[in-house]
Copies of this chain bind each other. A is one copy, B any other.
Amino acid sequence: MNKSTSPTDSTSLKDPCLQELQKLLGERLSMSNSVREQHGRDESFHASAPPEAVAFVENNEEVAEIVRICVQHQKPIIPFGTGTSLEGHVAALHGGVCLDVSGMNKVLEVNENDLDCRVQAGVTRKQLNQHLRNSGLFFPIDPGADASLGGMTATRASGTNAVRYGTMRENVLGLTVVTADGRIIRTGTRARKSSAGYDLTRLFVGSEGTLGIITEIQLRLYGVPEAISAAVCSFETMEGAVNTTISTIQMGIPVARIELLDEVQVDAINRYSDFDYALKPTLFFEFHGTEAWVQEQAEMVKEISTEEGGSDFQWSTQEQEKQKLWEARHNAYYAGLALRPGSKGWATDVCVPISRLADCILETRSDIEESKLTVPLVGHVGDGNFHLLFLIDPENEEEELKLYQPLNDRLVERALRMGGTCTGEHGIGSGKIKYMEAEHGDSLDLMRQIKQAFDPDNLMNPGKMLPA
């Protein structure tokens, strides 16, 4: 470390709060420019706002002590997992200390009989599944990035498997949280259901670090299915693809994944991964179950697809083919970026009732076409959730944001008008804070009351989620 930016003796530090933290953490408090810069931004286009220092924490007690010290000095605290959020969640907008939990990466317990586990907040989803590889169990929530489970909890993440297994909302059984007064509390129990008191667990899930620091998570797990099959099908029209989705959900076919790619995204994937999918709206499916049940599901969906003008319904239980197919889907983000070499991605998402999905996507596509911009679209359409990827030229960022921001505004306005939400899974951070009033109306006051009750000094990730 460079001594001028990362003093290791507390005498060179003028800030009394940072002095105290350094006494507690020693080398695990970093003031280096590069570390601060890296912790001041996520994967999105949002401008970096580096914290004053980064604390690399190791356990609950340390987090609690840091919170007490910061509160005493009225210093903001911003939790940080892997930095893969998408709406500026980790930017230190009001200065303060970044609390990096990536070192809290132990899987604390796996209860195979109960299909649950307890992890520290810094454990990533891939790390957890690696840990579980010989148990016959897996954790299904897959937002794309190898995010920390603390961050996924804090942003109420979901992703491709949510249509079958739910989101973090449904899969967190309980939490350990350090509150803004520096106490370590536990919410929930290991019981699958409870009617005992307010649902604090669900209140912290999706709270984006604004109510307290999530340090441990009790998670549901699932048995690895006996059989998995994957399928792909292209459609003449967007309506055909969306109607296939609607019918599949209505018939109660428990599809594990149902992903929509529009023509632009299919083109991007073909170029990036050397595929030759038809340049048409395309659905990717995955089915989980027994051999016979997986086959029956695929056949039912094939029948629906055919009725809706789908062609080339290809399905496979072969590991290699499935992997190839899902690799293409997983690379959608990078394939999209490659449509405009050198660009930075701005991923936005909305979620609408499934009956409005075709309308919402078609209006959005025609809005994009009028703008003459290249914007790929992918969706977790079984949930009514879809994403746009705006490709920003970093050399000309300010001007470009002015082009894309109105598209995003209209996208959100459209989703709200159709009974949906301004974000299905990315969260609010600072990027979508301006839509909170339109979405929530008076109930925003209740959110403010909770924030005021739990964090009266507004030190927990200030400037996020709730408009000032």
Contact = CB atoms under 8 A, between A and B. Distances in A.
A252 B227 CA distance: 12
Interface in A154-200: 155-158, 162, 166-167, 169-170, 179, 183-187, 189-200
B449 A454 contact: yes
Q: What is the copy number of this chain in the assembly?
A: 2
Interface stretch (A112-120, A270-278, A305-313, A335-343): A112-120
Interface string A435-453: 1100111111111011011
Contacts of A354: 113-114, 192
A419 interface: yes
A180 B193 CA distance: 28
Contacts of A420: 189-191
Interface string A406-440: 00000000011001111111111000100110011
A222 interface: yes
Interface in A446-466: 446-447, 449-450, 452-454, 465-466
Contacts of A251: 223
A422 B189 CA distance: 10
Given A203-B203, A442-B183, A442-B185, A114 B355 contact: yes
A197 B252 contact: no
Contact of A254 (B254, B419, B454): B254
Contacts of A440: 196-197
B447 A193 contact: no
Nearest to A452: B453
A161 to B, nearest CB: 12
A382 to B, nearest CB: 8
**What interface size band does chain A fall in?**
35 or more
A446 B454 contact: yes
A189 to B, nearest CB: 5
A190 B419 contact: yes
A95 B202 CA distance: 32
Given A113-B246, A446-B185, A193 B207 contact: no
A205 B206 CA distance: 17
Contacts of A421: 189, 191, 193-196
A107 to B, nearest CB: 17
A249 interface: yes
A384 B194 CA distance: 10
A394 interface: no
Contact of A419 (B179, B189, B435): B189
A424 B193 contact: yes
B111 A355 contact: yes
Ordered nearest first, which 8 A-B pairs have the shortest CB separation?
A202-B202, A113-B355, A194-B421, A190-B419, A191-B351, A453-B453, A449-B453, A195-B427
Given A156-B199, A187-B443, 14 more contacts: A112-B250, A113-B355, A156-B193, A169-B199, A170-B170, A185-B443, A185-B445, A191-B420, A192-B353, A194-B423, A196-B428, A198-B203, A199-B199, A293-B293
